[in-house]
Structure 1
């Protein structure tokens, strides 16, 4: 079984990751108990959709109007921030991979560049799942986009559940 788990740093996404690891660990145990000599082919992919920092055209124009050279320095500054965010997520995913590999599961990590549109992020996740031929997607019920005490599903999760051709397990 191959499971894709979306991790965005939220408590709910870590719960979804824990659930996926436990599910695959259980399947490994079941295979060993049934006497299967075949090496487990269970795999977990931990996915992060990196949402780069972007400024509106109005803000960029404001900087440009103050000093025309500022536009290029602003672009470099944003590039540096986005690069630092990617480096931070690469480290976080590496740490998660190390932590959960102890469960005896094959784990890979991936960062995909996204946008701030929940629909586009959902399409990116679903396309990745289809390309990777995963059997299931696990996601936390609400991500870092904000939680509200009456909110049962985040917009990305809702969109993934609506458009996915793969089963989606939503972990509260």
Structure 2
């Protein structure tokens, strides 16, 4: 067993984990932050995207001990301080960027990383950035539209599909 201490969504947390405990399992099982979804355990789907020290990471590809001392952000920490949806979450709602919702936390976390890196991405850049995130419901069109809207771009000319 190993001791880990990290800051998750602005709060210091500690725990005892086996060396093989995945970050996704630590978040879900030990911290009860179940918004980080596990869809594949093989880094294919992107449902488990979190931010570690400001970088987007698939939580199923890292061990919890690797995050010892790190600053971690999950979907639970994305809302505004008053509990309202942040601009990305609101754009997903406004532009129907979700259906079943399983991929949504990973999509929102990926979108946040993209917009931090590239504040006004083109449609092509959004689609390329999301290549590591799988959605089986929406066909991506409205997800892309939501991300572009969250960046402040006018998406009124983009036709719904």
Answer with 1 or 2: which has the greater Rg.
1
More helix by share: 1
Normalised by the length of structure 2, the TM-score is: 0.26
TM-score for both structures, normalised by structure 1: 0.24
Q: Which has the higher contact order (CA 8 A, sep 6+)?
A: 1
